[in-house]
């Protein structure tokens, strides 16, 4: 049975009255100018044997629109329901979903230790692929369940005492924010929150408030690379340069940067970094990473100790693997992280960032041109792929109608949030702008 309706079955269902086709998609009410099926649209979930060809290993040097159409064709979503909410959850390409399915079936056919022995090697391949892309060693990478888990490993695991200070960005996600308050309630540490200008004019305006908050008691500076509530990107390298000479542990939540920006952890210089594979990395669901720099690993306590750890306080496992000690894991998922890594390598880290940034710029310029107020900076160096506009009007109606009438799935975080990624086409972005234009009265109130 197909898991997604193809365009053909979608239209058949519609004829049978099972689906209400969005007006904008039918051409009614002015329709969707320039709408044309992409390769993925005409065959979004092909029967086996007719899947879109995988991306060629020898990608063309110039990534033209035909190349990006080929990337889009790796995904099974339909043109009627276009995902533009990468900050929350991304679709994974068929290769990743197929790998999870194939390996899950394999385990169900034969769940013996003998058959499952191969999974430790597959997990190591995933770790090596991810580490190479992030510019660090495999021993510094733990493959965990998500950013929430990684952030909590850091805020539970860094050795802190009463009176120590932790400095946070007030835009941090609850797992890197409220979680520190829970720690403070237990151990008497002090949590200081830093605000930045609502509309920063330069990177310096994002540096100064943090530097001013650091004191001799500061032990941790816990940041977010790209905010999910404003889209602001922090100048991490400069902040690390200010904190490191003081011995401060800089933790970076990369939920909105891994898989979107071409992240080089050595160049950023942070002590730890957390991220989810099911967001911009387009990997399997409920997988994530925790990077801890080699020299910091012995200082950070694990959250969970399970079989495989060893028989005393010193772990038998090497490096950051101690942070993924969790009993029985979903081995198929861990192995499929490696498939996601291959997908990213086929596209290229710098190429992904450039495309994502071009789509985000197209979107922000289009929205600003409609007179919408951007929450997210227009400048690429102060932002990532998270694009937010203010909604003084009815946010939930705007989101519902954008989805139902224009086929664009966004979010209501921080305003109206749209996050285009490499599986989106320029037409998707133009359609999102047209949708906002049509919903102007609802959005502005
Ligand atoms: C900045 C940030 N950190 C952490 C998370 C939590 O991610 P997950 O639910 O995958 O753990 C999110 C989710 O949106 C986020 O935006």
Encode pLDDT of 157-174 as tens digits. Answer: 999 999 999 999 999 999
Q: Give the mutation target among 255, 257, 337 for probing the ligand 1 site: most ligand atoms within 8 A of CB.
A: 255
Query: Are 429 and 72 in contact, with CB atoms under 8 Å apart?
Result: no
Distance from the alpha carbon of residue 120 to the mean position of ligand 1, in angstroms: 27
Mean pLDDT of 82-87: 98
The pLDDT confidence band at residue 15, using thresholds 50, 70 and 90, is very low
Percent of the chain at pLDDT > 70 equals 88
* 255 CB within 6 A, ligand 1: yes
Choice from 149, 175, 258 to test ligand 1 binding pocket (greatest atom count within 8 A of CB): 175
Of residues 131, 222, 220, the one with CA closest to residue 177: 222
Angle made by CA atoms 429, 365, 258, in degrees to the nearest 5? 65
Q: Which of 45-54, 390-399, 436-445 has the lowest mean pLDDT?
A: 45-54
pLDDT tens, position by position, 337-347: 999 999 999 99
Q: Name the pLDDT band for 57 (thresholds 50, 70, 90).
A: confident
How far lies 219's CA from each of 69, 155, 167, 183, 194, in Å?
47, 12, 8, 14, 15
- Distance from Cα 222 to the centre of ligand 1, integer Å: 14
> Which has the minimum average pLDDT: 22-36, 48-62, 385-399?
22-36
Q: Is the CB of 152 under 6 A from ligand 1?
A: no
What is the CA(172)–ligand 1 centre distance, in A?
Answer: 9
Closest approach atom of ligand 1 to CA 227: 1
- Whole-number pLDDT of residue 209: 98
**For residue 24, pLDDT beyond 80:** no
57 or 393, which is more confident: 393
Distance 259 CA to ligand 1 centre (A): 14
Indicate the SS3 state at residue 377.
Answer: coil
pLDDT classification of 289: cutoffs 50, 70, 90: very high
- The alpha carbons of the chain give a radius of gyration, in whole angstroms, of 23
Q: What is the whole-number distance in angstroms between the Cα of residue 187 and the centre of ligand 1?
A: 25
- pLDDT tens per residue, range 262-285: 999 999 999 999 999 999 999 999
Q: pLDDT tens digits, residue range 392-408?
A: 999 999 999 999 999 99
Can you tell me the distance from the alpha carbon of 237 to that of 69, in angstroms, rounded to the nearest whole number?
34
- Average pLDDT for the chain: 90
pLDDT band at 428 (very low <50, low <70, confident <90, very high): very high
Q: How many residues does the chain have?
A: 445
Q: Is the CB of 286 under 6 A from ligand 1?
A: no
CB 229 within 8 A of CB 253: no
Residue for token pair 């234009």: 437
- Could you tell me the pTM of the whole model? 0.90
CB proximity list for 95: less than 8 A, separation 6 or greater: 54, 74, 339, 342, 343
Model confidence at 51, pLDDT cuts 50, 70, 90, reads low
- Give yes or no for residue 222 CB within 6 A of ligand 1: no
Could you give the C-alpha distances from 348 to 45, 80, 262, 355, 356, in angstroms and in order?
25, 28, 9, 10, 12
Structure token digits, residue 129: 């692929």
Buried b (16+ CB within 10 A) or exposed e, 43-61: bbbbeeeebbeebeeebee
What is the structure's pLDDT at 316? 95
Ligand 1 centroid to Cα of residue 156, in Å, is 17
**Contact assessment for residue 72 and residue 37, using Cβ atoms and an 8 Å cutoff:** no
Q: Parallel, antiparallel, or unpaired: how do β-strands 272-276 and 249-253 relate?
A: parallel
Does ligand 1 lie within 6 Å of residue 276's CB atom? yes
Residue partners of 118: CB distance under 8 A and separation at least 6: none
Q: Which helix (H) or strand (E) holds 169?
A: strand 165-169
Nearest CA to ligand 1 atom 7: 147
Q: Ligand 1 atom closest to Cα of 226?
A: 1
- Which residues have CB under 8 Å from 260's CB, separation 6+? 86, 226, 280, 352, 353, 356, 384, 385, 421
**What token pair was written down for 10?**
């979608």
What is the SS3 assignment for 189? coil
Q: Is the pLDDT of residue 26 over 60?
A: no
Q: How far is the CA of 58 from the centre of ligand 1 (A)?
A: 34
In this prediction, residue 211 carries a pLDDT of: 98
């Amino acid at each position: 049975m197909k898991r997604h309706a193809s365009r053909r079955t979608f239209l058949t269902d519609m004829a049978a009255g099972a689906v209400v086709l969005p007006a904008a998609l039918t051409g009614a009410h002015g329709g969707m100018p320039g709408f044309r099926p992409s390769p993925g649209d005409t065959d979004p979930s092909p029967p086996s044997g007719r899947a879109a060809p995988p991306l060629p290993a020898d990608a063309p040097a110039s990534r033209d629109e035909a190349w990006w159409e080929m990337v889009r064709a790796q995904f099974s979503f339909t043109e009627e329901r276009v995902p533009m909410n990468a900050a929350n959850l991304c679709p994974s390409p068929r290769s990743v979903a197929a790998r999870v399915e194939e390996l899950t079936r394999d385990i169900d056919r034969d769940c013996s230790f003998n058959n499952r022995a191969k999974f430790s090697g597959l997990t190591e391949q995933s770790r090596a692929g991810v580490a190479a892309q992030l510019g660090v060693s495999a021993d510094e990478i733990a493959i965990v369940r998500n950013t929430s888990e990684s952030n909590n490993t850091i805020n539970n695991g860094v050795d802190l005492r009463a009176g120590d200070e932790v400095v946070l960005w007030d835009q941090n996600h609850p797992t890197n924010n409220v979680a520190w308050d829970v720690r403070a309630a237990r151990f008497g540490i002090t949590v200081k929150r830093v605000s930045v200008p609502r509309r920063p004019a330069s990177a310096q305006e994002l540096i100064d408030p943090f530097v001013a908050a650091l004191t001799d008691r500061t032990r941790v500076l816990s940041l977010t690379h790209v905010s999910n509530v404003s889209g602001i990107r922090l100048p991490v390298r400069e902040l690390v340069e200010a904190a490191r000479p003081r011995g401060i542990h800089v933790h970076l939540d990369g939920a909105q940067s891994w898989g979107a920006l071409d992240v080089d952890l050595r160049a950023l210089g942070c002590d730890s970094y957390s991220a989810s594979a099911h967001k911009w990395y387009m990997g399997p669901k409920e997988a994530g990473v925790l990077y801890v720099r080699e020299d910091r690993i012995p200082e950070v306590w694990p959250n969970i100790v399970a079989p495989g750890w060893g028989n005393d306080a010193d772990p038998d496992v090497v490096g950051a693997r101690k942070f993924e000690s969790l009993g029985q894991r979903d081995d198929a998922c861990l192995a499929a992280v490696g498939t996601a890594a291959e997908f990213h390598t086929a596209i290229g880290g710098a190429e992904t960032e450039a495309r994502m940034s071009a789509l985000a710029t197209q979107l922000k310029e289009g929205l600003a041109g409609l007179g919408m107020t951007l929450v997210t900076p227009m400048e690429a160096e102060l932002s990532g792929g998270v694009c937010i506009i203010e909604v003084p009007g009815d946010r939930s109606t705007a989101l519902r109608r954008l989805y139902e009438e224009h086929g664009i799935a966004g979010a209501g975080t921080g305003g109206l949030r749209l996050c285009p990624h490499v599986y989106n086409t320029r037409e998707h972005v133009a359609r999102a702008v047209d949708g906002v234009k049509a919903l102007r009265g609802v959005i502005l109130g």
